[in-house]
Structures are given as structure tokens and as C-alpha cells.
Amino acid sequence: MTPTPHIPLLTSDHSQSPDNPFLNAIQSVGNPRQIAIKFVALLALLAFGGVVGAYGVRFGEHAILLLAAPLIIPLGVLLFIQPRLLFYLLIASRCALDPILESARFSSSFGLGALLNLLLIACAGVLCIQRTKASIQQSIVLWVAPLLVMMLGVSYAPELIPALKRLVAFVSYFAVFTIGFILASEGQLKRLLKVIVLSSLVPLGVGFYQITTGGMASTGRLAATFTHPNIYAFYCLLVVITLVYLQRMHARTQVPTGTAQSMGPTIAMWLLLPCLLLSIVMTQTRSAWAALILLGLVYGILFSKRTLFGMLAVLVLAALLPAVQERIMDLFSGNEVVQYAKLNSFAWRQYIWESGLNWMSPSRYLLGYGIGGFFYHSVDFFPLSGGNYFGAHNVFVERLFDGGLVAIAVFSIFFAVQFHHARKLLKQDQFTGLVYFCLMLSYLVLNFSDNVIDYLAYNWYYWVVAGAMYAHARQIPPANTNP
């Protein structure tokens, strides 16, 4: 019987022909689909290498920009795998990043800060898609009119690029508000507030290092990790509100006394609160002082009379500091606009407000001069500009100048809706409603004498807490109107 000849087959990964090296090579690579995947992966690696090489050539002299490139990949992975973790990382670290972001600019108008804004907006988008039970319709309805007003203001802004930057920043405020809304709706309010309080450890540490080593700004004001003392003061004020509310939340929970779980928040309260209050004093930011005193009076009258005595003691001790005395006495001098006279900071602000509003054309009362209009035209209407550009140092004046009566009406409704829900929350949960009310009140007080809308880091923290409080207020069932 004639033996059957041996025929090499390709049906098995382990069957190879010793007589055909070409077929063996194909078998070792895999099927065509695997070959295509490996080829695409190889092209992607080559493209990534080219981008990294070009990035290194372009920004090789900037060490921070060069070192930031490897962070893009893990942050991008977290964006789709764990967007909540990514957000917590962003919000925990943002208060310490200003010095790095200021030195990591691609140009005068673009840098890593803009990329962080876009990353946060993308994070909000992914969370909205992945949300399980939280409805974001209420957040969108609240913000749609202010967003449209800002977009409209960009269309006739005197300078397009700065206006677009402010629009992106404002969109990031909407994004962080929505994230806070989602997290609170998912029952993560306490975790969010803890992250915000813990984020203060780095700025407080840097601040006390500056105090002990004399490394404060040339004006003698404390700025810690922020670019301006005012921003640090506003941030500390927000953390104080968050810390007090977090302590109140902990007191409501049924935790056995004497345990580490029960004592931890109390210890954190008594350690962090004095440090935060001292930091606010050392920033020498008078608007933050005024807001803090106002909130202390409200809290003391309604909830804790002992707070009034504590606040009085703090005020007496603060008044003994030469820096505080100087800042207060400064308000009583330089209040008149006369030749060669030096105005104090508040009188200077009043003068630029009056100059800007008097300069406005009646034809611009309705829609204003566009986003950034006040800053752009300040050299035209402010006699003390000296050829320099200045912001309004008052968000209400800036809104009227940039967006006209339309913007004033829209933003008035925007905050009125939130105050309405804070009032409803007061009836169900007095302390939480009061915290929400005081949070907005402090924000508006600070907006009266500063360019708060431009302080991106502070606004991230404010709007995420405001979004969480708004979600809490919207969860209250409507009152039954039936007899």
C-alpha cells in the first residue's frame, strides 16, 4: 500500500512546515486581524513618539512643561475609567497648582491651566454620560441663560482671545457646579467636603512657612500657593464654611463617643479652624474680613451664642496687629480725588467704577461692550490708568459694562433662583439652608470689591460646593398645597 504523502497545513498554530520558512513566518505572526491591530499599534507608537519629540523640541527649555507631558496619558485613562477619582484629584490639588501653572505657559494667553479647564469640562461630560440616578436637567436649566449671555458677549468682545478664555473658564464653573450636583445626588456630599477641607493642608503649610521665614509678598500680605493674597483669603473663607458644616454633619451622625471616628473631625476642626482664621487675617483682605464677621454674626445669633464671644476675642486680638491697624486706618485717608493725592484702595475702586459707568454710551446700556470691555476701555475712561489696563474690581459693575442690563437681569435671576431654594431648604433643614444662604451671601460680598469671577481656582471650590448645596435643596419635595 502506497503511503499518503505529508501535506503541511496552516490550521493549527502549532503545526509548522520545516520545508516552508515563509509559511512558518506567517504562522508565527498570527491571523490577519491580529496583524492589522499590531500594525495600527505600531503606527500609534510612532506617532506618539513623533509628538513627544516635537513637544520636547518646542518646550525643551521649560522643564515643567516637559515633565507635564507624561501626565497626559494616566489622566486621560482616568477620565474614562474613574472620572470621579480624576475629579477628586483635580479638586484636591488645584489650590496648590497656581505657581506651577503660572510658570507653565505655552504663550501669554495659553498654558497648562487651560488644559486643566478642558480636562475638567471633559470630566463633567463623562460623569453626565455615566451617571446612574442623578438628573442634571435642573443644573442645565439654571445655567443655560448665563452661558448664553456669556457666549453673546464673546461675539462682540473688543478682543476675541481673552474673551474666549473667560468663556472657557465660565464653562468650567458650570462643569464643576454640575459635578457637585451629581456627587451630592449620589450621596457623596460628605466625601466631597472632606476632600475640599483636606486640600487646604498644602496652602496652610506653605503659608506658615512664608510667615516663619519672612517669605511673604513685598506688601507683607500672605498669599501661600495662590497668585494673590485676596484669592487665598477667599479660599480660606470657603474652607471655613465647609469645615463648620462638615463638623455639624458629623455631630448629627450616630457615632459612639470616645472613639477615633468620633474625635477625628472635632480634632481637625480645632486644629484647622484657627490656622484658617489666622491666614485670613494675614492676607490683609478687608472684604474677606467683612464677609467673615458677617457670617460669624449670623451663625452666633442663630446657633451658638458662644461664637459671638469667641469672635469678639478674635477681633480684639486681630486689632492689636500693626498690619490690621494699618489696613483699617487706610480707609480713613485718601478718599478725595485731588491732584497728586494718593487714593486708598477702596476710594480708587469707587473712582474707576464712576469713571466707567459715566463713560458708557446710552446705546450700550442694553448689551454693553462685550466680554472684557471694561478692561479693554479702562485706558480710555480712567484718568489714573497711566496707559495701563485695569479690571473693575466689582463684578456687578463689570457685568453692567460688559453685558448691559440683559446680563444684570439674567444673573440676578440666576442667584434669585438659588436663594429661593436656599429659603426652601431653611424650612426643612435650618442649618444646611443657612450654610447655603451664607455661602452665596459671602460670594456676593466678595464680588462687590474684587474681580472674583477671574479667580479660577477659588471659583472651582465655590461652585462645586454651591452645586452640591443646590442638589440638596432640589431634593426637597414640593409643599402640598391641598387643604
At 305-360, the pLDDT tens digits run: 777 777 777 777 777 777 777 777 766 555 555 443 466 778 888 899 999 999 99
Mean pLDDT for the chain?
80
Amino acid identity for residue 242 in this structure: T
> For the chain, percent helix, then strand, then coil, each to nearest 5?
75, 0, 25
Q: Residue 117 is placed in which grid cell?
A: 479647564
At 447-471, the pLDDT tens digits run: 988 889 989 999 999 999 999 999 9
Distances from the Cα of 252 to the Cαs of 18, 299, 391, 431, 439, in angstroms?
78, 17, 44, 11, 21
Dihedral sign of CA atoms 282, 285, 288, 294 in order:
positive
Q: In this model, does residue 301 exceed pLDDT 70?
A: yes
At 414-423, the pLDDT tens digits run: 999 999 999 9
Residue that wins the pLDDT comparison between 1 and 288: 288
* Sequence-separated (6 or more) residues with CB below 8 Å from residue 431: 245, 248, 303
The reported pLDDT for the residue numbered 114 is 76
Q: In this model, does residue 97 exceed pLDDT 80?
A: yes
Check if the beta carbon of residue 178 is closer than 8 Å to that of residue 139: yes
The model's confidence at residue 151, banded by pLDDT at 50, 70 and 90, is very high
* Sequence-separated (6 or more) residues with CB below 8 Å from residue 124: 175, 176, 178, 179
At 116-135, the pLDDT tens digits run: 888 898 889 888 887 765 67
**What is the maximal distance between C-alpha atoms in the chain?**
124
From the list 65, 78, 71, the residue with the least C-alpha distance to 106 is: 65
The reported pLDDT for the residue numbered 35 is 66
pTM, two decimals, is 0.82
The model's confidence at residue 164, banded by pLDDT at 50, 70 and 90, is very high
* Sequence-separated (6 or more) residues with CB below 8 Å from residue 10: 23, 26, 27
Per DSSP bridges, beta strands 110-111 and 105-107 are: antiparallel
- How far apart are the C-alpha atoms of 314 and 317, rounded to whole Å? 5
Q: Quote the percentage of the chain above a pLDDT of 90.
A: 38
The burial class, CB within 10 Å (0-12 / 13-18 / 19+), for 89 is middle
* Number of residues that make up the chain: 483
The reported pLDDT for the residue numbered 16 is 47
